[in-house]
Amino acid sequence: MKDRNKGIIGAFLILVALGLGLWQWNIRSSNLISIQALSAEANGLVAQENLLNKRYEEIKPELNAARESAGQQIEAVFPTNDDVTNLTRLFDDFEVKNNFDSNPFLINSVNYLNPLEEDNYRILPMTMQITASKKNFLKFLEYIESSGSLESEVRLMSVESITVKYPDTYGGIYDVGLQINAYFSREI
């Protein structure tokens, strides 16, 4: 009987060992499947990374050019120094483009005052005397109003005060005094 009990116990242990073996085999198989899935996903991510790096290298010159262009546009409308020379050129260019015998626009004087300090920017105040037709005077006010636009690359300015001497006759020439502020940033 002892042999029979030993045989049953042995058979039971063999069945338990087989059961544990099958259980471990299933766990191992599912782990292998998970490993293969993760490996395939990792390979896909590496391929995607390589594709993105290649695309980045392709567009990098465009991005750098766009960044440089944007920096130049910002420097044009909001320079880091008072840049009186370029500001005077802007006014001269406007005068040349808009001064006609039948529709005059003449800048008689521009006086730049001492810059003012603000928290995040600086102001270059100026006074200006112009002689202009009504049409060109309004065009100049629009020019100042639209300044600061990155597309136009016209220096950021604002009109602070206007004094107008009206003509004696309809359609005559206006004598205008303006106080204008041109803005520039603090150096970083």
Q: Are residues 113 and 45 in the same domain?
A: no
For residue 103, what are the contacts with CB-CB under 8 A and spacing of at least 6?
A: 133, 135, 136
Tokens representing 79? Answer: 């320079």
Q: Are residues 89 and 12 in the same domain?
A: no
* Number of domains making up the chain: 2
Q: Are residues 91 and 178 in the same domain?
A: yes
Q: Are residues 96 and 69 in the same domain?
A: no
What pLDDT does 23 receive?
84
Residue 26 has pLDDT above 80, yes or no: yes
Could you tell me the pTM of the whole model? 0.65
Q: Are residues 179 and 90 in the same domain?
A: yes
- Of 22, 43, 77, the residue that ends a domain is 77
Q: Are residues 24 and 115 in the same domain?
A: no
The parent domain of residue 67 ranges over 1-77
Q: Are residues 170 and 96 in the same domain?
A: yes
What pLDDT does 161 receive?
95
Q: Are residues 89 and 60 in the same domain?
A: no
Q: Are residues 70 and 91 in the same domain?
A: no
Task: List pLDDT tens digits, range 105-141.
Answer: 999 999 999 999 888 899 999 999 999 999 999 999 9
Q: Are residues 73 and 89 in the same domain?
A: no
In 10 A of CB 23, how many CB atoms?
10
What pLDDT does 114 receive?
92
- Location of structure tokens 């116990």: 9
Residue 188 has pLDDT above 60, yes or no: no
**Helix, strand, or coil (residue 112):** strand
**Helix, strand, or coil (residue 162):** strand
CATH number at residue 114: 3.30.70.60
Q: Are residues 57 and 90 in the same domain?
A: no
Residue 96 has pLDDT above 60, yes or no: yes
- Of 34, 54, 77, the residue that ends a domain is 77
Tokens representing 152? Answer: 């136009």
Task: List pLDDT tens digits, range 162-173.
Answer: 999 988 888 789
Burial group, residue 71, by CB count within 10 angstroms (0-12, 13-18, 19+) = exposed
Task: List pLDDT tens digits, range 55-95.
Answer: 988 888 888 888 888 778 788 788 888 888 889 999 999 99
Task: List pLDDT tens digits, range 35-44.
Answer: 888 888 888 8
- Of 24, 42, 77, the residue that ends a domain is 77
Amino acid at 41: E
Q: Are residues 102 and 123 in the same domain?
A: yes
